[in-house]
Amino acid sequence: DIQMTQSPSSLSASVGDRVTIACRASQGISNYLAWYQQQPGKVPKVLIYAASTLQSGVPSRFSGSGSGTDFTLTISSLQPEDVATYYCQKYNSAPLTFGGGTKVEIK
Amino acid sequence: EVQLVQSGAEVKKPGESLKISCKGSGYSFSNYWIGWVRQMPGKGLEWMGIIYPGDSDTKYSPSFQGQVTISADKSISTAYLQWSSLKASDSATYYCARQDAGLFHYWGQGTLVTVSS
Q: What are the pLDDT tens digits along chain A (107 aa)?
A: 999 999 999 999 999 999 999 999 999 999 999 999 999 999 999 999 999 999 999 999 999 999 999 999 999 999 999 999 999 999 999 999 999 999 999 99
Residues in chain B whose beta carbon is closer than 8 A to a beta carbon of chain A?
Answer: 35, 37, 44-47, 49-50, 59-62, 95, 99, 101-105, 107-110
Q: Which residue in B45, B48, B33 sits closest to A99, CA to CA?
A: B45
Size of interface A-B (CB pairs under 8 A): 56
- Report yes or no: A61 and A48 within 8 Å, Cβ to Cβ: no
Q: What is the 3-state secondary structure (H, E, C) of A1-52?
A: CCCEEEECCEEEECCCCCEEEEEEECCCCCCCEEEEEECCCCCCEEEEECCC
Express each pLDDT in B42-58 by its tens digit. Answer: 999 999 999 999 999 99
- Kindly indicate the confidence band of residue B16, based on its pLDDT and cuts at 50, 70 and 90: very high
Q: Which of A44, A87, A94 sits opposite B59 (nearest CB)?
A: A94
Q: What pLDDT does A72 receive?
A: 98
Does B59 sit within 8 Å of A95, measured CB to CB? yes
